Amino acid sequence: MIVGKVAFRDYIHASLRAGAQTRAALADACGEPLLRAARRVGETLLSGGKLLIFGNGGSAADAQHMAAEFVGRFLRERGGLPAIALTTDSSILTAIGNDFGFDQIFARQIVALGSAGDVAVGISTSGNSPNVLEGLKAARKAGLRTIVLGGGSGGKAAELAEVALIAPSTIVWQIQECHPR
């Protein structure tokens, strides 16, 4: 099969290699921020706090997957840990979107569900999603700790986070592959 003038097989191999190179660059660049994020999450869970995780599109799916790993299990049998994906309740999302605007769908939930010391994890491949930015602002105002998973330059979201894990790519799928779940 041919994609443009490049054989499909060659395209796939090049794409996989590029993804691997991005993940290797992330390992070099984000070791310390990843450790800080893990410590913040661990401290929060040990003190009885919870995680509130949010993003749009594929990042919404990543938020749901991440919450499922905390509530379910990851790598070993253990008790469930409190994590909520703010992307799953269509009634809440559509009511807030209709009544307050789509940019408020995460901020309103953070105010309603979050407590000082909880962790808000915003996921945005561009770092500039208005509703993710508003969610992070609300989290900071309410005393939640903030972590951002992003890409490229990190956008405005990286400036709002205590810890920013920024994948060194502007290609959406490569960024999403780098986000821990």
Mean pLDDT score across all residues of the chain: 90
Superfamily of segment(s) 29-178? Glucose-6-phosphate isomerase like protein; domain 1 (3.40.50.10490)
Q: What is the pLDDT of residue 11?
A: 81
| Residue 126 reports pLDDT greater than 60 | yes
* pLDDT tens per residue across span 83-100: 999 999 999 999 999 999
d(CA 132, CA 124): 7
* pLDDT tens per residue across span 135-153: 999 999 999 999 999 988 8
User: Which carries the bigger pLDDT value, residue 22 or residue 126?
Assistant: 126
User: What confidence tier does 14 reach under pLDDT thresholds 50, 70, 90?
Assistant: confident
d(CA 91, CA 63): 18
d(CA 112, CA 94): 16
User: What confidence tier does 2 reach under pLDDT thresholds 50, 70, 90?
Assistant: low
CA 100 to chain centre: 23
- Whose tokens are 């290797």? That residue is 24
Q: What percent of the chain has pLDDT over 70?
A: 94
Q: What is the pLDDT of residue 136?
A: 98
Domain boundaries, the chain: 29-178
User: Which carries the bigger pLDDT value, residue 179 or residue 150?
Assistant: 150
Q: What is the pLDDT of residue 42?
A: 95
Tokens of 26: 């992330």
Identify whether the C-beta of residue 55 lies closer than 8 Å to the C-beta of residue 87.
yes
| Residue 4 reports pLDDT greater than 70 | no
pTM for this model (two decimals): 0.88
